[in-house]
Amino acid sequence: MSQRKRSKGLGCSQLPDGEDDFIPTQVERRSQEQVNQKVSELVQFLLVKDQKKIPIKRADILKNIIREYRDVYSEIIKRADRTLQEVFGLQLVEIDVKRHMYILINNLPCAEGEHLCGGKEKEKMGLLLVILSFIFMKGNSVKDSALWEFLHQLRVYPGKQHSVFGDVRKLVTEEFVRQKYLETTAIPLTDPPEFKFQWGPRAENETSKKDVLNFVAKMQGKDPKFWASQYSEANKATT
């Protein structure tokens, strides 16, 4: 997608309030070779953790990689982020400032209308793009019952095993939610319990409402301005 939403990288990231105890009072001097090794280890760690698209915890980075090098934490993070961008076209983005959780997002420009990713996950990401489009066009929030009905119309049945997507309900409510592409919120005082779907932080970072609207317009053969409200919102989001 060409109008990818840009996020501020972590080039100048510092440890947040409450984690000062990770920094020794006497900053130790590290050789460039030592720092380079830690940067390499961190890049590999982030790439492996990101394979399942599950958010990466700062605590895991500190425990598994940084360890006794916490005095140069910011330098290691900054250089790892730069390597990810320059070599892999990925960007480290903090999506939860309270729990200090990160994701890697694709920072490479894509052709208009492409899915969020390629390869063997392309089909799943195609379904995800359709779901994100439906949520946006319906006002950024939809009930689960409305989403299931919509998928039913596409001959994708949540209660049946799909030849490509497998267990569709599990894919949507567990995998996409765990990966932070979607978020669910319980609707109060509903019996049986109902909940609503919204875009998650990974979706917000990896695509844009303008891209999604252009995708919908292309699929329906209409000008994006046909949907005045969505067109206005999409263009505000990119300015």
Topology at the third CATH level for domain 32-106: Arc Repressor Mutant, subunit A (1.10.10)
Q: What is the pLDDT of residue 202?
A: 92
Name the region of 57 (left: φ>0; alpha: ψ -120 to 50; beta: rest).
Answer: beta
Query: What is the per-residue burial (b if ≥16 Cβ within 10 Å, else e) of 123-134?
Result: ebbbbbbbbbbb
- Is a pLDDT exceeding 50 seen at residue 16? no
What confidence tens digit (pLDDT) does each residue in 54-87 have? 899 999 999 999 988 888 888 999 988 888 887 7
Task: Grade residue 238 by pLDDT with cuts at 50, 70 and 90.
Answer: low
- Alpha-carbon span 175 to 152, nearest angstrom: 19
Q: Where are the domains of the chain?
A: 32-106, 119-207
CATH level 2 (architecture), domain 119-207: Orthogonal Bundle (1.10)
Q: Do domains 32-106 and 119-207 have the same CATH topology?
A: yes
Phi, psi dihedrals of residue 125, rounded to the nearest 5°? -70, -30
Average pLDDT over residues 111-139: 74
Cα atoms found within 13 Å of the Cα of residue 219, Cβ hemisphere only: 13
User: What is the model's pTM?
Assistant: 0.67
Residue type, 164: V
Q: How many helices (H) and strands (E) does the chain have?
A: 10, 8
